[in-house]
Chains A and B, each alone.
Chain A
Amino acid sequence: MSEAAQTASVPEISDEVAIQIIGMHKWYGQFHVLKDINLTVRRGERIVVCGPSGSGKSTMIRCINRLEEHQQGQIIVDDIELTGNLKNIDAIRREVGMCFQHFNLFPHLTVLENCTLAPIWVRKVPKAEAEETAMEFLEKVRIPEQANKYPGQLSGGQQQRVAIARSLCMNPRIMLFDEPTSALDPEMIAEVLEVMVNLAETGMTMICVTHEMGFARKVANRVIFMDGGEIIEQNEPEEFFNNPQSERTQKFLSQILAH
């Protein structure tokens, strides 16, 4: 494959700010997990966050939809600041979709019910309309034939694609991915990444915590490296991989690219 074919054709990034994190700190008890995080994400940006385990990358994106609470600093999503205010939290969660490492599908509901539950009960979409939308997204992730099965009957890759479709059914403006391929076999990783590349091509604002460097090169317009709860380095993928600035980044890259 040539260099040109490897780069996904993604729409332009607008100047509008989607997420702004200013001087954010977080502690687990005495343990300082996130230190002075500053990050601005513009609408349409595709950001890949990488770093060694325990570096706080998952915690950082989980703060964006308040699955984790930050103790200091500001997080502003779509012009709404995340505080203890439950209304703000609900408003932000409606606009921010999330996919998890272990998919977290609801095992007692069918694939279709997984996809329509939140639209019907949070967005108050009529059932027929929600099902129609769900089928559209299931077709986009190429598993419409599984709609009436239960998650336990699907493979890991299929489950993660359902999870992506489920998030998209809420029509989010921002998508967070927390190591979406870490629990998958290699062949399943490919099918999930393909869906994520297609999603990037629609111009979705995405933040992905992942170690899939091929994916980062292909779709990311920025790669962030975290270590010890701090953002060490961020750059465009080409620069980041070919010309890493800090020593820790170089060491990390040499380790993950070596095999």
Chain B
Amino acid sequence: MKSNLSAVFAVLILTACSEADSPAAVGNAPFVLPASVGVPSVCPDDRAFLHARYRIAAGGETRMLDLYRRANEVLHVGREPDLAEYWRRLPNDRIVHTRFFDDYGRGIEYEPSDLLSVTGAQNWAALSGLAPVRPDAEASGEGCTALADRHTVFGRIAYLTELDLMAYRRTYGATISLVALDFDRDAIDAAFRERDDYPLVDFADVGDMENDDELARMMAKSFMERRDHGHAH
């Protein structure tokens, strides 16, 4: 059964829709990022490596999502229980996608697809910064804390422009909020290494593995959170 939060996440992260073009509401107070998040005033030299922790909330449910960024790689952990998703951007602007299934200790590897695939799900900004659209509002603040904040008819987007990272988004009654940020290179490397030993199945081979029941269950799980958003933008 698909959880509400999974659907919410799909909407929050995987939809670009047209919020950036929507007319902004007026009269709201500026968004303020809590100091507890730990955004430094001066950005580290290498901001391609970061770990951002988010709280997703909708309908009384909450879930934590960890986003790890390492140069041309991104790892999402926690958007679904026992599921981690990994993307790597190739020099030719295509993206390799791997789903790791922690409960099976295995992964499914997808063929590289276009950077801007028809699903909108492969928009690199959406993956690496949880920002399917970059708000076109002028940023306030300085250095790493520079924040672009925009209200839309659907909700609100706050975006750390120097880090290319979503700070806050509210849409369709759900919110995703940045709650912690760090640049600990060793911890980030460790997070990427954690699933190194999982055997991977190339998706093109699934048709030849019809007797692999575990793989069938993994594939079914892959799409539990996606059913609500198969169309292109």
A-B complex is real: no
